[in-house]
Chains A and B, each alone.
Chain A
Amino acid sequence: MLREIFTENHMESNNIVIIKYNAGNIRSVDFALRRLGIIAEITDDPDKIRSAGKVIFPGVGEASGTMEYLRQRGMDEVIRQLTQPVLGICLGMQLMCGFSEEGNTDCLGIFDSEVLKFKAGKVPHMGWNALEGIRGELYSNMNQESYVYFVHSYFVPENQFTTAASRYGLLFSASMKRDNFYATQYHPEKSGLQGELILKNFLKL
């Protein structure tokens, strides 16, 4: 029943890099990839990030301090200029936007969207919520109304880049896409089988 994840033959790793920075939950993403047979490299080396087949930009934390950390190391430019598939998760997605109300922070500007604070309901928005209007490659073979796991206090309103929405008092972007940049507000690495499918779909790009 239990998958012997460290002993099975690993899939071709395809050179997946997880960006290492001062944010939590990097390990959770690493573990989730291992469950899929992928050993990713966790690194903050710009050359390794630029030459990776795919890049994952995870994150749990606070926007202003994290952006400051990335800027000081020139990582903001590195991420902006990536051309391979990139997946931002949670705070990673918010940092890919233009501006966040969290600490009034200028972010990476990959998505021309603002990140706002939830003003109603219990905050953080924590738990399983349904995806609505899913579209695009991340959702191949997935049903509408699939549930994924969220933990966040700030949100990105629906916009031209939205590829799935969720409802918490209002509709917000559960995921976005622009060119090679993909982003999820939810945590695919904690979203059970649906989350595994989304990660697999990203790895297949």
Chain B
Amino acid sequence: MLAKRIIPCLDVLDGKVVKGVNFVNLTEIGDPVEHGAWYSEQGADELVYLDITATHEKRKLLADLVRRIAVNINIPFTVGGGVNQIQDADALLSAGADKISVNSAVLMNPSLIDQIAKSFGSQFLVVAIDAKNVDGRWVVYRNGGRVATDRELFEWASEVWMRGAGEILFTSMDHDGVKTGYACKELAMLSDTLSIPVIASGGAGAPEHFLDAFKYGKADAALAASVFHYNEISIPDLKKYLHENNVTVRL
């Protein structure tokens, strides 16, 4: 049986792992490779590195960092942030990234999905979607949730899939940071509609939330940042809990 995946997400700024709330009050907490290695030892199934570096010059550091991660980490990892054109994707692939995650760039230029999927394969491409329920309509946002688009979640997700994305990473902005659980109803709708894996993101605060995301949300993987960074939930304990509740996980 294919196992449900647990994915810690690490925010990277200027080559360092940082944490903070909504990109404010960022505190440097260490080396991305060491953090990744630690998560891997803990039983993380995959890692997501999200580069939040603002300037283009500093972004060039990213390829070096990705190479260092690839050399040292023995599980798959995704790199998000800063992919605006196919050359950016190529550079990350060459540096050793297993997958890249794109968000705003494909909202501005959807055909970038087709290009990346055709050039490097769908398995290389995760499309991240941030959405928020606005009067009953799930509006897709870009630029880290700062700019509303005219896209609707389910339509956009279907288009992204049809264009060749390999996975969807769905973050409910209503649930993100609140720690009251993932958006299970929307996750289940996505999972039932799309024939590619769906990664749940936003809202994890307790082990039960992961269980719900898999059981009711039908998610293929669940991503979280702060509960893992602050050690509120340990990955070994979480996996044991999921296993006891009949979720297939890699122990």
Contact = CB atoms under 8 A, between A and B. Distances in A.
Interface residues of B, number: 35
A35 B93 contact: no
Nearest to A125: B2
Contacts of A196: 74
A126 B166 CA distance: 9
Contacts, number: 85
Contact of B1 (A3, A124, A167): A167
Nearest to A35: B74
Interface in B73-99: 74-76, 93-94, 96, 98
A60 interface: yes
The CB with the most chain A CB atoms within 10 A, among B76, B94, B167, is that of B76
| A-side interface mostly | mixed
Contacts of A34: 71
A127 B1 contact: no
Interface string A49-76: 0000000000011100000000000000
A193 B74 CA distance: 8
Chain A residues touching B, range: 35 or more
Contact of A190 (B38, B75, B93, B124): B75
A192 interface: yes
A122 B220 CA distance: 10
Contacts of B120: 24
A24 B196 CA distance: 21
Contacts of A130: 1, 3
B37 A124 contact: no
The CB with the most chain A CB atoms within 10 A, among B37, B71, B72, B121, is that of B71
A27 B70 contact: yes
The CB with the most chain B CB atoms within 10 A, among A60, A122, A127, A195, is that of A127
B250 A31 contact: no
B1 A31 contact: no
Contact of A126 (B1, B94, B197): B197
Interface of A: 1-3, 5, 24, 27-28, 31-32, 34-35, 60-62, 122-130, 147, 149, 151, 167-168, 189-193, 195-196
Q: Closest 3 CB pairs between A and B?
A: A147-B250, A128-B250, A128-B3
